[in-house]
Structure 1
Amino acid sequence: MCRLASEESPWDDYRRSGWPAMERQPIMDLGIENTLTSAVEAWARFTQWLSEYAPVHADALNPPATEEQIKQAESRMGVSLPSELRQILMINNGTTARNRILSGNSCYDARGGGDYSPFPSYNVFNDVELTCSLYTGNRTASVSMQEPGSRYEYWKQGWIPAFTTKEGHSGLFLDFSVGADPAPVYAYGEDSFPDLAFSSLAEYLSAVSDALEGIRPFTVMGRGAPHLPSVRDGLLAW
């Protein structure tokens, strides 16, 4: 059932067009003890919606990462993962879905090594191994590129790439460089400086879930045009 806002807006028209919004379940129904909005709660909302309306993408979510996998990755990276990201990875270790824009009426196979991530801006949720690989590669490149005496770093220690586009040159990273936990989320691209996008992973996932549940459109810090979701053949697109 759709939630109707008290004021009319273009978003209301979009929701009434048949978008499959759903009521948010109480936290206790999701088995979460913390009554505050958390990354785990937001992730539960997101995956519950996928299971209901985009089952192909729900099936593409990986099983949980193990403590050993995370510890090995942290050892190779030389930094710890922010607690919010660690919590989500221990529920689903990323997804098999990978983004590629396809045309026509092709059927996307998110489960087969796949195409098409269920997140806005073509971002893919990275598993532990890919997060580690991207981080170490970016740090190595950053050190080699840094000029003597320069304080500029292409990729700082503690910038954890949690979501990336298929080519790996843009996405979202969690800034754990000063140990802030929850870590703020920054959007980055190959030809631009990182830009603060969300105050935490929980806020990002909540914004995605809010859009799916028909509460409000997805925007980055209220900037730019809203991302409107759609579903086709069991897959979510923005």
Structure 2
Amino acid sequence: MNVDVEVPPHIHGTATHLGAGVPYALRVLARQLAETPDMGHPSDLPGILTVTVEGDLFEDCPALSVGYLREPDRVQIRYVTPISPSAPTAPTAPAQDADQSQERARATNPADDALVVRQIVDAWNRVTHWLQHNAPRSLEALRAGASPAAIATLGAQLGLQLPVELRTLWSLTAGDDGVNGAGCLPGNQALMPLEEVADFHRSRMDAQAWQNTLNAQRPAEDRFVGWRSAWVPVVSHGATDHTSGLYLDTATGYLGRWSRYREGPDEELDTLVTYLEDAADMLEAPALAVRDTPGLVDGALVWGSGLGPEQEGRWRPLTG
């Protein structure tokens, strides 16, 4: 017996953006899933199966990775991302002893992880759906999702077990190149590309190693900690401005703020889920936004708190 296959509206929008032949390829896949809902393979994301669509079979369609949720009586497609032509092979992560693993990674529960996957996917799809219909230039600045191998490589470079929320987000987009230096997140902040995440983490760890040398000669109350190994930089002040931003503390699951101006990091008390959900809420209901005001400049999303003098005359705040 066939099952129902649900393709949410934002997935249709994403498919159209990826190529003229992608919507047709998605319809073909939906028919196949209706007949064979278990054709996918387990992904790195709990509860999500993935299937590959060969781009050579369809005109104007790249190779695709399609993730879907399999339920007893239905299938729901959760994301569609193009596959990079040459995905790197993930190296084997260095061995960690039990104490290191406990310190570096939060304990996970499969059911909790599956919920986080759904929340991240839903929140990010709300953001990109809004961009598609209101700020296409900002949507075009978002990079395609990273492959599981690329994400695993980054985890190995950082020496961390990456939490499911980061792996999920990066599978949807591998960073934001911005429009005129502005990212699409509140404050015109931008998701950092994966290669910049690794480089920035390394530079901050080097700087902290020097601070640790100085801390050894300081009284306890004067010691400065500007970075910890468990912190993963996620969002920067702008697409090309890394003077400040947000990191995810992989030990606690909360976001924190860093600054190169030697202020101590501040706890945001936001998780990545609540941060993205809040951004989506502000875009969909700007009249209720309290943290920032979204607006448009020449087809790009520009948040009021990061508005430059040269943009003031062209900025249209959203009030709906």
TM-score normalised over the length of structure 2: 0.53
User: SS in structure 1 opposite 2:142?
Assistant: coil
Shift of 1:188: 2.3
Identity of matched residues, %: 24
What is the alpha-carbon distance in structure 1 between the residues aligned to residue 158 and residue 117 of structure 2? 31
- The equivalent residue for 2:199 is 133
* Structure whose alpha-carbon radius of gyration is higher: 2
Q: Judging changes above 3 Å, is the alpha-carbon distance between structure 1 residues 196 and 61 closer, same or farther for their aligned structure 2 residues?
A: same
Report if aligned partners of 1:42, 1:202 keep a CA contact under 8 Å in 2. Answer: yes
The size of the alignment, in residue pairs, is 186
Given that 1:77 and 1:132 are in contact with CA atoms closer than 8 Å, whether structure 2 keeps it comes out as: yes
For 2:232, the equivalent position in structure 1 comes to 160
1:38 matches 2:110: no
Which gives a bigger RCO, structure 1 or 2 (Cα 8 Å, sep 6+)? 1
Pairing 1:213–2:294 present: no
- Correspondence 1:174 to 2:240: no
Identify unmatched segments of 5+ residues in structure 1. Answer: 1-27, 98-109, 220-226
* Superposition CA RMSD, Å: 2.6
For 1:210 and 1:53, the matched residues in 2 are separated by 15
1:120 Cα shift?
1.7
Alignment of 1:11-30 (within 5 A): none
**Shift in Å, 1:55:** 0.5
> Cα gap change, 1:95/1:35 in structure 2, threshold over 3 Å: closer, same or farther?
closer
TM-superposed CA distance for 1:161, in Å, is 0.6
For the structure 1 residues 169 and 30, does the alpha-carbon distance in structure 2 shift closer, same or farther, using more than 3 Å as the test? farther
Counterpart in the other structure of 1:229: 294
The whole-number CA distance in structure 1 between the counterparts of 2:230 and 2:118 is 24
Q: Is the 8 A contact 1:143 1:153 kept in 2?
A: no
User: Shift in Å at residue 35 of structure 1?
Assistant: 9.8
Structure with more helix by fraction: 2
- Deviation digits for residues 188-209 of structure 1 (CA, Å, limit 9, x no counterpart): 2233222222431010011111
Which residue does the alignment assign to 1:95? 176
Tell me, yes or no, if the aligned pair for 1:40 and 1:202 is still in contact at 8 Å: no
Q: What amino acid maps onto 1:234 in structure 2?
A: G
- CA–CA separation in structure 2 for the residues paired with 1:79 and 1:35: 19
Deviation per residue, 1:79-133 (Å, 9 max, x gap): 1222111101101111121xxxxxxxxxxxx3xxx53211122311112111111
Relative to structure 2, which stretch is displaced further, 38-47 or 192-201?
A: 192-201
Kindly provide the amino acid, as one letter, of the partner of residue 161 in structure 1: P
Aligned to 2:273: 202
Report what 1:190 is aligned to.
260
